[in-house]
Amino acid sequence: MTATDTIAAIATAQGRGALGVVRASGPAVPAILQALIGQLPAPRHAVFRSLKAAAGEMLDAGVVIYFPAPASFTGEDICELHTHGNPLVMQALLEELCRLGARLARPGEFSERAFRNGKLDLAQAEAVADLIESRSMRAARSALRTLQGEFSTRINDLVAALTHSRVAFEGAIDFPDDIPGEALAAAELPRIVGLRGQIDELLASARQGARLNSGATVAIVGAPNVGKSTLLNRLARADRAIVSAIPGTTRDIIEVDTLIKDVPVRLCDTAGLRDTADPIEQEGIRRANEAMASADLIVLMTDAPEPRRTQELFAMLNQSLPANARVLVVHNKIDVYGATSRCVAGPDADHIFISAREGTGMDLLTETLGRMLGIEDTEENEFVARSRHLAALELARDELAPLDIALASSAPELAAEGLRRAADALHTIVGGGGGEALLGEIFSRFCLGK
């Protein structure tokens, strides 16, 4: 894509700072630099210059860098102005760039131009935003792997392999006498089964990466005074909820963002579940039920040492628990009734014995929470993924599932079509066949200047 217009934006975050960056990209950049600093700097050399408006007014002094096309982030001529980080100064520079021939960039338009000019594929362009928005170092490392092309390479290798098999089946359609269907199926089906396994492996890595991107929500529920607020404070490593011996202290949802195994997790402390005539407490219980309905995992707390005691709690929760809810029963206060920290498998849920007040068993609890949330210890081959990536991988796997010896032997055209659909689904991840609507949706969520 050859752009005919030039875009400009403030690239640093809002607010005051020691430094700020204003950038522009497009064919007017050389003329803009000539007008702004009186000359075109040597490519990719940082130079310190006075920045002046057309009328001769001094706007600021700072470092100017010129990246001529095609060796730039967008593939176009780019300039970056590194100035003092005063919003008024940066805004004045931005307005001057626009007077000199640029226009304000749309959100994500720099990355969109990089994609359209072949500097990044779509998965890499999305990883730019994910890297900037990462809430943990683990997420940042995973986004960086995607940005460097590791995820795209695996996708492109799968597309190439699927296309190879599709071409073989299409050859059987055109030359049925020369390429026997049974022999072809016997040769290609093991390869296709292997590709399906590779897609499953990549899907598992992508699901874990999606968790890094979206985070998870854990609702802490139970009767009053079983230690829900104490547990939230312990997991959050901060006193965020009031701890009191008075029942009904927590009446609203208290939400705290923390990290579990370096993955963002939102903890929700809820009102104690019990029969009550207090309308405020009733509203708190209603909100607790809402929190359970939207949580990825429900931590059901009790201070009773016997696992059978939790059957009463499950009976109380039956009307509130969503279908297929994942529940972990946490038996608190082992320091009071003298139990040891351990994990016990039960018919309805796993049971963990801890002391939230003393911190006993918290390592075991953290490990169990991570496992139940699908958080693996290893980061190998972990990529920050989005919901559309997961949907594409699942579609590709499902397109391959019906292929077997009988179908491939008797109907090579159906086998070829299934392989084509699987390859097309994967190709959308890196930018093939997505359409303008998809691109507009993706890049509109980026920040200005990105």
In this predicted structure, the answer to whether residue 387 has a pLDDT above a threshold of 80 is yes
Q: What is the CATH number of domain 215-372?
A: 3.40.50.300
Asked whether the domain spanning 215-372 has the same topology as the one spanning 6-118, the reply is no
**Phi, psi values for residue 391, rounded to 5°:** -60, -40
- Beta strand 254-260 with 47-52: parallel, antiparallel or unpaired? unpaired
d(CA 243, CA 234): 12
Q: How is the chain split into domains, by residue range?
A: 6-118, 130-212+383-443, 215-372
d(CA 215, CA 139): 10
Q: Which of 7, 136, 20, 137 is nearest to 72 (CA)?
A: 7
Measured CA angle at 363 (ends 361, 364), to 5 deg: 65
Task: Say which residue, 404 or 85, is predicted with more confidence.
Answer: 85
pLDDT level of residue 440 (50, 70, 90 thresholds): low
Strands 342-345, 263-269: pairing is unpaired
Q: d(Cα 334, Cα 226) in Å, to the nearest integer?
A: 12
Q: Tell me how crowded residue 417 is: count the other CB atoms within 10 A of its CB.
A: 15
Q: Which CATH number is associated with domain 6-118?
A: 3.30.1360.120
The pLDDT assigned to 181 comes to 61
State the pLDDT at residue 226: 87
Give pLDDT, residue 279. 79
Reply yes or no on whether the pLDDT at 388 is more than 80: yes
Q: Are 255 and 268 in contact (CB under 8 A)?
A: yes
Model confidence at 119, in pLDDT bands (50, 70, 90)?
A: very high
Asked whether residue 434 carries a pLDDT value surpassing 70, the answer given is no
- Phi, psi dihedrals of residue 355, rounded to the nearest 5°: -125, 105
CA atoms 76, 79, 85, 89: torsion sign: negative
Choice between 236 and 199, residue whose per-residue pLDDT is larger: 199
Confidence of residue 355 (pLDDT cuts 50, 70, 90): very high
Return the CATH number of 130-212+383-443, one of 3.40.190.10, 1.20.120.430, 3.40.30.10, 3.30.565.10.
1.20.120.430
pLDDT of residue 94: 95
- What's the predicted TM-score (pTM) here? 0.76
Three-state SS annotation for 193-207: HHHHHHHHHHHHHHH
In which band, very low, low, confident or very high, does the pLDDT at 133 lie, cut at 50, 70 and 90? confident
Greater confidence (435 vs 376) lies with: 376
Task: With a cut of 90, say whether residue 117 has pLDDT above it.
Answer: yes
- Report pLDDT digits (tens) over 31-68: 999 999 999 999 999 999 999 998 888 999 999 999 99
Q: Is the peptide bond before 70 cis (omega within 30 degrees of 0)?
A: yes
Residue with tokens 């980061």: 379
Phi, psi of 301 (to 5 degrees): -100, 145
With beta carbons less than 8 A apart as the criterion, state whether 296 and 287 touch. no
pLDDT digits (tens, 9 = 90+) for 196-224: 999 999 998 888 888 887 788 999 988 88
